[in-house]
Amino acid sequence: MTMLTNETLVSQPEFQRRLVWTNRHKQLFVETVLDGMPFPEIFFCDGSVDLNTGAGTTLLVDGQQRVTTLYQYFTGSDQFKPGDSIKPYADLDPEKKAAFLNYDVVVRDLGSLSMDEVREVFRRMNSTNYSLNAMEVNNARFDGALKKAAEDMSTWKVFEEHRVFTTVDVRRMGDVRWCLDVIITVMSGYFSRSDSHEDYLERYNDEFSEGQEIEVALFDCLSLLSTLNLDSKSRVWQKNDLFTLTVEIYRLGAKSCTDSDGLAVALKEFFYDVELVTSGGVPEKHSKAIQYRDDVISGTNERARRVRRGEVISGLISPFFKNG
């Protein structure tokens, strides 16, 4: 605690990813310490040294979130909310304060290492047998309300019934990423790739008050599509097409659909036209299908292409909705 206060312990070297725990995770960890239970070792190494004064720093190679959480609790930081589960440090009796400060932390001191060696140690400690994609990295960093909403959505039967996600999608968290894309898009509008994931995961890590309302509305969107009885091989159930349809139906309001039969026919005919589009000459009536197909197969996650696809689909389906 003293080293953190006088900044001789550097708790976030630039090579570390900044981890984000929910407040409940922090509470559970502090409870572990207050109960005198152990937690895994943390790793230190030597930092910089002032050769004139001999004063030096220590780098925290691994254990940043644990150490930071303890410090937030100790200092009464507003980034840690004790809630009803534990007393603030300032309110502990002297014996409890002494026990907290005397808690044994297992530390592995790696000694003097170059920064390249420190980075390599950190990489190996946090490596897997394959490169992590963005969603897998965020999964390791966030475990809060918004991520849970996306995880819950990814388990809906509609995706399994229509084989929306492949085995590889599920193994590499592509299903959760897709659901997160949809949830954030209906909240904020179209964006490029997964650019907004980290910002929204952090913003709604502790609380996602509008989550239930959004989940219900999205469930209605997918339920509406299921009732249209379109062919199982229809483009409606391909991830990129389903993404755009779900977002645009959400905007119109699934329950405001006034002609589901007409909607089914329109989607069937449109996606039939999309499949017919080739690089050669095509009838003028296929102009929207040509634009859509180009935007759905190339640079599909770019914001501009998502916006154009949304405009095409919105124009197609809005006549069948009360709010269209």
Q: Pick from 91, 125, 159: which residue ends a domain?
A: 125
For the segment 140-172, what is each residue's pLDDT rounded down to a tens digit? 567 789 999 999 999 999 999 999 999 888 888
Residue 109, phi then psi, degrees to nearest 5: -95, 115
Q: How sure is the predictor about 129, in pLDDT bands with cuts at 50, 70 and 90?
A: very low
| Under 8 Å between Cβ of 85 and 45 | no
Let me know whether 156 and 179 are in one domain: yes
Write down the pTM of the prediction.
0.66
Same domain as 141, residue 98: no
Closest CA to 313 of 224, 222, 234, 249: 249
Q: What range does the domain containing 32 cover? A: 2-125
Q: Which residues contact 251 (CB under 8 A, 6 or more apart)?
A: 186, 314
- Rounded CA separation 208/199 (Å): 13
3-class DSSP state for residue 42? strand
Asked if 184 and 200 touch (Cβ cutoff 8 Å), the reply is yes
Question: Mean pLDDT over residues 231-246, rounded?
Answer: 94
Q: What is the DSSP letter of 109?
A: E
Beta bridge partners of 10: 59
User: HSE on the CB side for 189, CA within 13 Å?
Assistant: 5
Same domain, 84 and 201: no
- Please give the Cα distance from 113 to 98 (Å, whole number): 34
Give yes or no: residues 103 and 163 share one domain: no
Mean pLDDT of 61-86: 90
Question: pLDDT tens, 41-71?
Answer: 888 888 888 888 888 888 888 888 899 999 9
Which of 76, 93, 125 is the endpoint of a domain? 125
Nearest to 244 by CA among 185, 200, 165: 185
Tell me: do 191 and 298 sit in the same domain: yes
Question: How many domains in the chain?
Answer: 2
Question: How many whole angstroms separate alpha carbon 135 and alpha carbon 194?
Answer: 8
Regarding whether 166 and 140 lie in a shared domain, the answer is yes
- Residues 307 and 201 both lie in one domain: yes
Average pLDDT in the chain:
87
**Cβ(218)–Cβ(183) under 8 Å?**
yes
Asked whether residue 108 falls in the same domain as residue 144, the answer is no
pLDDT of residue 207 exceeding 60, the answer is yes
Q: Is the pLDDT of residue 259 over 50?
A: yes
Instruction: Give the per-residue pLDDT at 140.
Output: 57
Q: Of 82, 99, 125, at which residue does a domain stop? A: 125
Q: Are residues 188 and 226 in the same domain?
A: yes
Same domain, 118 and 142: no
Can you give the pLDDT at residue 304?
Answer: 92
**Residues 46 and 152 reside in one and the same domain:** no
One domain, residues 299 and 255: yes
Coil vs helix vs strand at 110: coil
The size of the chain, in residues, is: 324
